[in-house]
Amino acid sequence: MTGIFLFVSTAAFVLWQNAHLTVLWDLSYILENATRISLGQLPYRDFPFPYAPLTFVIQAAIIKLLGRAVIHHYFYAALSSALASLLTWRILLRVLASSGIPVRWVSFLWTLPLVFLGTSSIFPHPFYDSDCTLFILLGCWLLLRLESDDFPPLRCVGCGVLLAVPLFIKQNTGLVFLLAASFCVAWFGIRNRTTARKRSAALLLLGGAAAVAISGLVLIQASVGLAAYYHWTIQFAASRRLPGIATMLGVYRDSALLWPLLAFAAGLTFLLPRFSVHRSLRWAAAALLSAPFVHAAAALLLQSDASDRVEVLLRLWPVLLLAASALTLCRLPRAATFAQLIPLILLGAIHGAFLSQQLWGSTYALWPMLMILLACILAAVCPKEAKQTNTSLPLAVFAGIVSLSLLVSGGYYALSHERLSYVDLTGDKLQHSNLPALRGLAMRGSWLPDFEELVAFTGRNIPRTDAILMLPGEDLLYFTTGRTPQFPVVMLDNTVNPYSAAQLLQLATRHNVRWVIVKRNLQLQEEPLAFRPQLLEMLSRGFEPFESLNNYDLYRLRQ
């Protein structure tokens, strides 16, 4: 019943988020490109594409199988997030089994905040970050299952296969995860080389991962070419999204981290056997470990600005990452089980995700990994022998404080939409779409009525065979209407558009673009197309005004 409750609660919250919240830019990028793929267009060959393909292929398959309806994709996001919460709970049960605390109770308490901090709870639409985390959790859970089931050979191969899947979902996270997992599997094999079954399991795991990675690359070479794939997903993506090393390390040098780090380190020290024999130190350890989490919840009262409140919550990340890194590296020379190696795999995956822009802002789909790392920290310093010194009661209280604090602060994080402050979510009235493909889509403001006016106008006045250039492309035009995109870029911003204004004009001529649709006011708070005025000035030489709608200007190719 515990698993069912966590699954249903997470799914229900994601569906509720989607029932009143739409982030047009990101949802459109996923579904517009999935629409292209469902129509037979190939990324990297037919249009520039700086992401790994699998999330878009999955959404394209949903379109092909079930038709164009946004509600299908909302259900996918809800189910994937619910499954991630369920997997996190099962992983916590296995990780904490070697600790001296109430396993089932603590596992439930630490999974419960994922209702608000799940892979699709903060950003509720289908996305590659969420998919990548789901498959990473699945791979970690299967590794732990293999260990407890004495490594059945066929399941070892299957688990190895899944370890390579994230590589094709999000390239930076997936690549580092695969490298970290491969290292840990190899280390496991070396540490257990005298045990034939474990040594064979390591080889089968590595073989399964290698087979899928190589097969995927062969398929890419046969369809679009590895050179194009490497250019767009590695070279171009890194040039637009990769933060500098100084930026990545800078978050660890934040002076505000000093007291939480000292408190957490002192708390862990007091849990060591030489100190935990003293009752007062056991409770002091629980209090010190709880302090950063209590502060995250208290910030809702202490801070008046929403971004400051959330920043205190996000500061838990460097504290727990540094603690987990220190303990993992200390234990690595003696680590001989996957339960002991899982933290290293997750640390690699998390820092791989940070290779995208915005660093701590990239954590919105990674919270399940942080909860597992927290469990790994306690399992490392509080083995089962801790029950002999009555450490379990203080740690059970600590677990309850962590859960309550994250429920409060995490709930605020999700419900305040602070992570989504880059879009305009204001408006007096919640608007619901009447278009068949967008039934279930809702958002505040006039964006939906204005877009529906555009869809109706284009249906009456623009032949379906005519090529359209959307500027900047924030809307679900092709997904909604079923038109075939004929211009290589459906959305124009620095991270996905490789072309200058002059090159876009040349492409418009080459692809026989007859219509330009310009959206005047965007839901996106910042202008994504830096050279929009320059591009519009150049386009005005070949296109003439045709119609002005509530939020869109339409231009037609001069006759």
Residues 421-477: pLDDT tens digits? 999 999 889 999 989 999 999 999 999 999 999 999 999 999 999 999 999 999 999
Convert the pLDDT of each residue in 342-356 to its tens digit.
999 999 999 999 888
Q: Measured in whole angstroms, how far is the alpha carbon of residue 61 from the centre of its chain? A: 20
Q: What is the pLDDT of residue 388?
A: 47
Q: Find out whether 77 and 128 touch, Cβ atoms under 8 Å.
A: no
User: Residue 437 is encoded by which pair of tokens?
Assistant: 């493909």
Q: What is the pLDDT of residue 485?
A: 95
More confident residue, 246 or 50: 50
Mean pLDDT within 107-126:
96
Q: What is the pLDDT of residue 270?
A: 86
Residue 384's pLDDT band (boundaries 50, 70, 90)?
A: low
Mean pLDDT within 133-142:
97
Please give the C-alpha separations between residue 377 and each of 109, 121, 312, 332, 335, in angstroms, as whole numbers.
16, 25, 21, 13, 14
Answer whether residue 386 shows pLDDT above 90.
no
Convert the pLDDT of each residue in 161-190 to its tens digit.
999 999 999 999 999 999 999 999 999 999
Q: Which residues pair with 431 in a beta bridge?
A: 443
Residue 391's pLDDT band (boundaries 50, 70, 90)?
A: low
Q: Assign 51 to helix, strand or coil.
A: coil
Report which DSSP code applies to 37.
H
Convert the pLDDT of each residue in 285-312 to its tens digit.
889 999 999 999 999 988 888 888 999 9
Least confident stretch, 21-30, 161-170, 385-394, 521-530: 385-394
Query: What's the residue count for the chain?
Result: 559
Three-class HEC string of 105-125: HHHHHHHCCHHHHCCCCCCCC
Answer whether residue 496 shows pLDDT above 50.
yes
Mean pLDDT within 140-169:
94
> Alpha-carbon distance 141 to 303, whole Å?
38
What are φ and ψ of residue 417, in 5° steps? 60, 30
Q: Find out whether 480 and 527 touch, Cβ atoms under 8 Å.
A: no
> Alpha-carbon distance 398 to 167, whole Å?
36
**Burial class of residue 120 in the structure, from the number of CB atoms within 10 Å of its CB (0-12 exposed, 13-18 middle, 19+ buried):** buried
Q: What is the mean pLDDT of the chain?
A: 92
Least confident stretch, 178-192, 238-252, 535-549: 238-252
Q: Which amino acid, residue 241?
A: R
What are φ and ψ of residue 529, in 5° steps? -105, 100
Residue 277's pLDDT band (boundaries 50, 70, 90)?
A: low
Answer whether residue 85 shows pLDDT above 70.
yes
Answer whether residue 383 shows pLDDT above 80.
no
Q: Which residues pair with 444 in a beta bridge?
A: 430
User: Per the omega criterion (within 30 degrees of 0), is the bond before 488 cis?
Assistant: no
DSSP element (H, E) containing 444: strand 442-444
Q: What is the pTM of this model?
A: 0.95
Report which DSSP code applies to 45.
T
Residue 361's pLDDT band (boundaries 50, 70, 90)?
A: confident
Please give the C-alpha separations between residue 117 and each of 72, 85, 407, in angstroms, as whole numbers.
22, 9, 9
Q: What is the pLDDT of residue 243?
A: 83
Answer whether residue 500 shows pLDDT above 50.
yes
Please give the C-alpha separations between residue 96 and each of 2, 295, 438, in angstroms, as whole numbers.
16, 25, 44
Q: Which residues pair with 341 in a beta bridge?
A: none
Domain boundaries, the chain: 2-420, 445-557
* Most confident range, picked from 80-84, 271-275, 348-352: 80-84
User: Residue 260 is encoded by which pair of tokens?
Assistant: 């939480």
> Alpha-carbon distance 24 to 378, whole Å?
41
Convert the pLDDT of each residue in 194-225 to its tens digit.
888 999 999 999 999 999 999 999 999 999 99
Q: Find out whether 487 and 468 touch, Cβ atoms under 8 Å.
A: yes
DSSP element (H, E) containing 198: helix 196-223
Q: Residue 438, Cβ neighbours under 10 Å: how many?
A: 22
> Alpha-carbon distance 106 to 115, whole Å?
16
